[in-house]
Amino acid sequence: MAEAGSAAGGYLAAARAFYDAAADVPALGACCAQRNDLHLPGLAVPQAMEALAFSCGTTVHPAELSDAPTALYIGVGGGLEALQFAWFSRRPGGVIAVDSAPRMRQAAQDNLAAAARLNPWFDPAFVRVLAGDALALPVPDASVDLVAQNCLFNIFEPADLRRALAEAARVLRPGGRLMMSDPIAERDIPGHLRRDDRLRAICLSGAQRFEAYLAEIAAAGFGVIEVRSRKPYRVLDHMEYGLDADLKLDALDTVSRKVAPLADSSEVDVYTGRRAVYVGSLDRLVLDGIEFVRHQPQPVSDRMAHRLQARAEHDVLLTPPTWRHAPDAFAAETHA
Ligand SMILES: C[S@@+](CC[C@H](N)C(=O)[O-])C[C@H]1O[C@@H](n2cnc3c(N)ncnc32)[C@H](O)[C@@H]1O
């Protein structure tokens, strides 16, 4: 396997060099930082780890972590989210963290050692930090319960994004979860910004549109995608970036499942927080395999909402996307 950055031109190597430099001077990466507002009881975060948090949203969704899954975290950065995952699993090797930048890996290890001094429950052996690349993960097939990445995959050009998603699917066990946070763009980002290695590395110019991003996840074998949060991330100023008009980026948090799409559909199910409420005269009604109890809101995928649209005039009330966490919404529909 070619080393990152050598096969696909220089942008991957440039990103690695950028993050090696940012490991020593965190201010360099500050432009792709959004505050991670998750506070877990009994978890004290070292200041140096906090300073190296270069995230979009969060990939740590507590409702997904009650079974203490084995997690593979790609692009460890300063180690904050790896530490948060370890808070749930609390066992040696419960978190495997991969990064391609040597100085960033060293910073993560130093920060995890500092975290152990602050947190009696934490042992640095809970997080195994490995040298590796998102495009060729150093982990066997079907060996982890969940894969997470925050603000890394958006850096990749489309062919590399496909490789990274295929790698995530390869290492996940069937039914496993892919937890991601990335910026998405309200419209296509023009070529002169896409070709700028530095803007790409700092998560400002590689973002895809919502539909294209989800289509890539679906094509990699994830039959259900839940949007856990969508919120403004950054505005690219038209003067500064040579654009016709300002361009808004959102931070999108998703949880995708390595399951087949519904038996009767080749389409993927995307949950954006929509609900359908049956308001007809029966106590219960089964529509497309989903049981609706009169007047009780039922989580539905966007595809299902589309199918129910015809009834929306008389006996079904449909709510718009909330772009919010809807844990296990997909369980409402039956999967093969
Ligand atoms: C924007 S930072 C995000 C760090 C961390 N996920 C966080 O939320 O703070 C991207 C991280 O991915 C690492 N990285 C860059 N290219 C990579 C690649 N091809 N494979 C694995 N890690 C990579 C960088 O070294 C850096 O630590």
The CA-atom distances, in angstroms, between 73 and each of 42, 174, 231, 259 are: 22, 18, 23, 20
Pocket test for ligand 1, best of 45, 80, 99, 133 (most atoms within 8 A of CB): 99
The one-digit pLDDT tens for each residue of the chain (336 residues) are 333 333 444 899 999 999 999 999 888 776 666 666 789 999 999 999 999 999 999 999 998 999 999 999 999 999 999 999 999 999 999 999 999 999 999 999 999 999 999 999 999 999 999 999 999 999 999 999 999 999 999 999 999 999 999 999 999 999 999 999 999 999 999 999 999 999 999 999 999 999 999 999 999 999 999 999 999 999 999 999 999 999 999 999 999 999 987 656 667 889 999 999 999 999 999 988 889 999 999 999 999 999 998 888 789 999 999 987 665 555 555 444
Q: Do the bridges between strand 284-287 and strand 144-150 make them parallel or antiparallel, or are there none, so unpaired? A: unpaired
The whole-angstrom separation of Cα 288 and Cα 272 is 19
- Residue 22 Cβ < 6 Å to ligand 1: no
The whole-angstrom separation of Cα 297 and Cα 54 is 37
In the numeric block, the tokens 């529509």 are attached to: 287
- Residue 11 Cβ < 6 Å to ligand 1: no
Please, are residues 138 and 113 in contact by the beta-carbon 8 Å criterion? Answer: no
Helices vs strands, H then E, count in the chain: 10, 13
- How many CB atoms within 10 Å of residue 186? 14
- Kindly give the number of the ligand 1 atom that is closest to the alpha carbon of 59: 8
Please, are residues 336 and 262 in contact by the beta-carbon 8 Å criterion? Answer: yes
Torsions phi, psi of 230, nearest 5? -140, 120
Cα 151 to middle of ligand 1, angstroms: 7
In the numeric block, which tokens belong to residue 73? 């975290």
Please, are residues 155 and 18 in contact by the beta-carbon 8 Å criterion? Answer: no
